[in-house]
Amino acid sequence: MEKNSKENNVCEEIEKEFETNENCEVVDEQEENQVEETLEESEKNEDLEFEEMDEDDMGKKYAKLKEENDKNLEEINLLNNKLKAVQDTHIRTTAEYDNFRKRTVREKEQLYTDACSDVLKEIFPVVDNLERALDLTQEDSSLKQGVEMTLKQFNSSLEKLGIKEINTSEKFDPNFHEAVMHVVDENYGPSEIVEVFQKGYIRGEKVLRYSMVKVAN
């Protein structure tokens, strides 16, 4: 009897231990399920938070990029305006310099012409006298040859200086001719130059001396 009693006790203890282990396993399984559910829920929450944070960050990043882009566009517009202003200034400066250069050339030319004019006004009468002497000198004389040579040198010098004799073969032009006498003659047309009393000279566009002429009709 005592032996059976001991065996029963042992069996009871084993059964209790087995039940305890089963209960522990159930508890452990429940805990694992709860942990898994908690982890899944936590992951979902983290995903949602990540998505929300990502959208928020994207919005902030977009706003920042837009602000930088607007700022860059303003800087580009400012630089374009500065470039345009520099180009306009360059164009104006170039045009002003070109005008200054042309004006300086004209002024220098005018100064030279004025200087020549002052000197030539004293030389033209000498040429006039040589031409008159040539008309009065006898043909085939050594004097006439000397006058012709001297007059030729004068004319050659005037030509080198760019001085030309004013044309009197056409009609009277007050810009180049000075009428000192008028005649009415049916043999001539209106404003036709009949006679030249004194030759005129021109250099470029400047008249150094007007031609003194007689004009018909």
pLDDT at 42: 64
Is residue 215 domain-resident?
yes
- Which of 16-30, 109-123, 131-145, 200-214 is predicted least confidently? 16-30
Is residue 86 domain-resident?
no
Q: Would you say residue 117 has pLDDT above 90?
A: no
pTM of the model: 0.53
Is residue 182 domain-resident?
yes
Cα–Cα separations (whole angstroms), residue 43 to 30, 58, 86, 91, 133: 20, 22, 62, 69, 128
Q: How many CA atoms, within 13 angstroms, populate the side-chain half-sphere of residue 81? A: 6
> Of all residues in the chain, what percent carry a pLDDT higher than 90?
40
Our count of domains for the chain comes to 1
Is residue 68 domain-resident?
no
Cα–Cα separations (whole angstroms), residue 99 to 59, 69, 88, 93, 104: 59, 44, 16, 10, 8
Token look-up 């059976």 returns 4
CATH of the domain at 174: 2.30.22.10
Is residue 48 domain-resident?
no
- Which of 12-16, 101-105, 107-111, 212-216 is predicted least confidently? 12-16
Mean pLDDT (whole number) for 38-46: 65
Is residue 11 domain-resident?
no
Is residue 170 domain-resident?
yes
Is residue 175 domain-resident?
yes
**Domain coverage including residue 203:** 164-217
Q: Would you say residue 1 has pLDDT above 60?
A: no
Per-residue pLDDT tens digits for 47-99: 555 455 556 677 777 788 888 888 999 999 999 999 999 999 999 999 999 99
Provide the mean pLDDT of the chain: 81
Confidence of residue 2 (pLDDT cuts 50, 70, 90): very low
